[in-house]
Chains A and B, each alone.
Chain A
Amino acid sequence: EIVMTQSPVTLSVSPGDRATLSCRASQNVNSNLAWYQQKPGQAPRLLIYGASTRATGVPDRISGSGSGTEFTLTISSLQSEDFAFYYCQEYNNWPPWTFGQGTKVEIK
């Protein structure tokens, strides 16, 4: 069973700064990796699939990269609406379909 490890657990960033979030898979997941954003009291929202393809409506300041076991979500210039929790999810080796434990992006 794959383990998805996200780092850091909490990321403190000033508005306008860049945020870099990491997701590591314990086995090769090729490019079968998605990223989600979740704000308090809301359902998750798909941001990225296929490791680097933005979902509909996702601004281009949000980008994903990586393949194999190492993945990165980058938010180039943090806006107020970007402060949230972020989860990665692999869909290469299943079942189960595994999520990372999440990264909280908070205002510095």
Chain B
Amino acid sequence: QLVESGGGLVQPGGSLRLSCLDSGFTFSSFTFSSFWMSWVRQAPGKGLEWVANIKQDGSEKYYLDSVKGRFTISRDNAKNSLYLQMNSLRAEDTALYYCARGSSGWFDGYYDSWGQGILVTVSA
């Protein structure tokens, strides 16, 4: 249901914008706008690392310290879409980036639906 796009090879210092579309094919009455949404990344051969998340109405956003000031998370509920604008990219940002669906409540929690991931490679 979650499909990421926008990844690729970029030089250090460059920018990239990731998108995640929720196709919305679900038997649940909940829709994209009902959930917190997150970006979680996985560097090659490494574990999972939460990057950023955004509340249902976009009123709250949180970021991993190492991406603060460089990455911006946003959403467009009318388009069932989540975005991650990544600026000033570094080699250590190289990873598979997953879009993940979080909580339908006041606070974010665990992730019950994940995209297939999109690869971002930062290299000269």
Q: Which candidate, A15-23, A72-80, A93-101, is the interface stretch facing chain B? A: A93-101
**Out of B40, B53, B111, which one reaches A46, CB within 8 Å?**
B111
A85 nearest CB across to chain B (Å): 8
- Return the CB mask of A36-60 against B: 1 if under 8 Å, else 0: 1010000111100100000100000
A14 in the interface (beta carbon within 8 A)? no
Report the separation of the CA atoms of residues A94 and B55 in the bound assembly, to the nearest whole angstrom: 14
Q: Which candidate, B13-21, B83-91, B112-120, is the interface stretch facing chain A? A: B112-120
**Out of B47, B64, B65, which one reaches A87, CB within 8 Å?**
B47
Output the residue of A36, A38, A95, A99 with the most chain B CB within 10 A. A95
B98 in the interface (beta carbon within 8 A)? yes
B48 nearest CB across to chain A (Å): 4
Number of contacting residues on B, CB 8 A? 22
**Out of B50, B110, B115, which one reaches A96, CB within 8 Å?**
B50
Report the separation of the CA atoms of residues A102 and B47 in the bound assembly, to the nearest whole angstrom: 6
- Given A49-B110, A55-B112, do A36 and B98 touch, yes or no (CB 8 Å)? no
B8 in the interface (beta carbon within 8 A)? no
Q: In the complex, which range does the number of interface residues on chain A fall in?
A: 20 to 34
- Given A49-B109, A97-B38, do A43 and B47 touch, yes or no (CB 8 Å)? no
Report the separation of the CA atoms of residues A34 and B38 in the bound assembly, to the nearest whole angstrom: 15
**Out of B47, B65, B108, which one reaches A97, CB within 8 Å?**
B108
* B107 partner residues in chain A, CB cutoff 8 A: 91, 94
* B48 partner residues in chain A, CB cutoff 8 A: 36, 38, 44, 87, 89, 99, 102
Contact between B110 and A34, CB atoms less than 8 A apart: yes
Closest chain B residue to A89 by CB distance?
Answer: B110
Q: A34-B109, A44-B40, A91-B109 are in contact. List 5 more A-B contacts (CB 8 A).
A: A46-B112, A91-B107, A94-B107, A101-B47, A102-B47
**Out of A46, A96, A100, which one reaches B47, CB within 8 Å?**
A100
